[in-house]
Amino acid sequence: MTFACFHWIGRCLVSRGLFIYNKWIHEAGPELGSTDPVTGQVVWKGCTARPQEIDAAVAAARVAAADWAKQELSQRREIIERFAGLLEEHSGAMALAISREVGKPDWEAATEVRSMIGKVELSIEAHERRCASFVGGTAVARFRPHGVVAVLGPFNFPGHLPNGHIVPALLAGNTVVFKPSEQAPLVAEETVALWEKAGLPAGVLNLVQGGGDVGAHLVEHPGVDGVFFTGSARAGVAINTRLAGTPQKILALEMGGNNPLIVHRVVDREAAVLLTLQSAFLSAGQRCTCARRLIVERAEAGDAFLEALVTGAARIRVGHHTERPEPFMGPVISPVAAEAVLKAQAGWVARGGRSLLESRRLRAGSGLLSPGIIDVTEMVEREDGEVFGPLLQVIRVDTFDAAIEEANRTVFGLAAGLISDDREAYEVFRRRIRAGLINWNQQLTGASGAVPFGGVGLSGNHRPCGFFAADYCSYPVASIEIPEVRRPATLPPGLE
């Protein structure tokens, strides 16, 4: 494991600053910090970008845009591949930053870094397949970058998800101003430091730190041509509202979901339980694809499946990333987030939900929560929202048809899954379910970068990322091209 890119003082990393036109800027706005969500220890200290730093970052990206777009694709690709190599070289340090800042177990943080590395090759392939120039007679279509794009990242995958916007955006010839989650500034800074080391020209990638006010200023900036966002539906809707009067800005939204998972006609109950546990509780329930609603048929799944599920959930190992043997689950992002999960659980029970397994805070003042499972079948006024944590709702229905209707009873449409040995049931499910990601006998949190990733309804705006991120990183320009001036073969009436 290498720590070459880190500047630790004690156990706290002192920020390099904001990154604007390939310079680290230390004199900026109010202090910003991030903490270990289990211990509360400060792991990073830095500063917030003020309006003048945001303006400077956009101006730097604007200055760099023309030359970066004019470079040959092979030149941009060479730098991006160099970044992937540096990620490989510093993978241990990057994984440690993820674990320390957002609490992921070491094994899970390592998989996130692997996804970041893999995104480069996938993005190159996607650009070649979806953005290649094509010719039809004298008609030609070519793709052009938008210019300056803002990337707003989340905390749950602080490396991988912003990377999924930044890599294809740079490959297409855009320049970027990156505003990470204020809860994960360390990972963003370390990522940008590797881009700097890879040799990106000045201004091509700029980093501004801060909260919602920084994001709002960046989103509305007249020098920004596009906004690529991953985060909550609430924040995504706010961005969409802010940009309602500027349709010239490309907007790609990847938001959350109230994701259903149906269990139907399963022989191997243990396998179904394991798939359900991973679907609901991976990343402490902080993946946008986590199962939020488990839908079971009374006659088929019944009490036996739920009893096995509760037993399995109660045995899940939860802890700090340094603990050995390693935990399956780390904390939610903060003690405040943990309190919100427990408050939601209490509300469900107060309205008639039946607790099958109570989620509990495992360490005072921390984000460590045990998994919770609540039967909400008889609950009054069941909410259609996303509780971002290890809390699973159970809904019992009488038929498979009712299960599909229940699954579709949401304004979201990100992910939906079926665990079943019945292929005919899956074909019905696949045709009728309304979601952008549909899995069969695979954990709901399983997704591939080789296909699109995104949802419908309040889960997105029909611009999926993943392999299809190439689509929103550039736009087609159509031309009819004739190499010499010559008289038209035919003329319309009145022009002879």
Q: What is the pLDDT of residues 4-23, one digit of tens each?
A: 344 444 455 778 999 999 99
Q: How does residue 300 score in pLDDT terms, banded at 50, 70 and 90?
A: low
Residues 418-446: tens digit of each pLDDT: 999 999 999 999 999 999 999 999 999 98
Tokens of 134: 């094509």
Distance in angstroms (rounded) separating the CA atoms of residues 377 and 79:
54
Q: Are 257 and 412 in contact (CB under 8 A)?
A: yes
Q: How does residue 448 score in pLDDT terms, banded at 50, 70 and 90?
A: confident
- Given this model, what pLDDT does residue 83 score? 98
- Given this model, what pLDDT does residue 9 score? 44
Summarize the confidence of residues 172-186 as an average pLDDT.
98
Radius of gyration of the chain (CA): 24
pLDDT of 303 > 50? The answer is: yes
Tokens of 52: 């003048």
Catalytic residue among 288, 290, 465, 473: 288
The region that residue 235 occupies, defined by phi over 0 for left and psi between -120 and 50 for alpha, beta otherwise, is alpha
Residues 322-360: tens digit of each pLDDT: 999 999 999 999 999 999 999 999 999 999 999 999 999
pLDDT of 223 > 60? The answer is: yes
For the chain, percent of residues with pLDDT exceeding 70 = 97
> DSSP letters of 298-329?
TTTTHHHHHHHHHHHHHT--B--TT-SSPPSB
56-66 as b/e: b if 16+ CB within 10 A: bbbbbbbebbe
Q: How does residue 450 score in pLDDT terms, banded at 50, 70 and 90?
A: confident
- Given this model, what pLDDT does residue 11 score? 53
pLDDT of 287 > 90? The answer is: yes
For the chain, percent of residues with pLDDT exceeding 90 = 90
- Which residue type is seen at 469? A
Q: How does residue 302 score in pLDDT terms, banded at 50, 70 and 90?
A: low
pLDDT of 362 > 90? The answer is: yes
Residues 73-110: tens digit of each pLDDT: 999 999 999 999 999 999 999 999 999 999 999 999 99
- Given this model, what pLDDT does residue 334 score? 98
The mean of the pLDDT values for the chain is 95
pLDDT of 51 > 90? The answer is: yes
- Of 339, 4, 266, 58, residue with least CA distance to 177: 58
The residues facing 329 across adjacent strands are 318
254 is catalytic: yes
Catalytic residue among 101, 189, 196, 254: 254
Those residues with Cβ within 8 angstroms of residue 136's Cβ, 6 or more apart along the chain or in another chain: none
- Given this model, what pLDDT does residue 10 score? 46
Distance in angstroms (rounded) separating the CA atoms of residues 345 and 456:
27
Tokens of 320: 């700090």
Q: What is the DSSP letter of 356?
A: E
- Given this model, what pLDDT does residue 26 score? 87
- Given this model, what pLDDT does residue 134 score? 85
The pair phi, psi for residue 14, each rounded to 5°, is -90, 125
Summarize the confidence of residues 33-58 as an average pLDDT.
97
- Of 277, 231, 154, 188, residue with least CA distance to 459: 231
Q: Are 299 and 398 in contact (CB under 8 A)?
A: yes
pLDDT of 301 > 60? The answer is: no
288 is catalytic: yes
pLDDT of 1 > 70? The answer is: no
Summarize the confidence of residues 395-416 as an average pLDDT.
97
The residues facing 372 across adjacent strands are 391
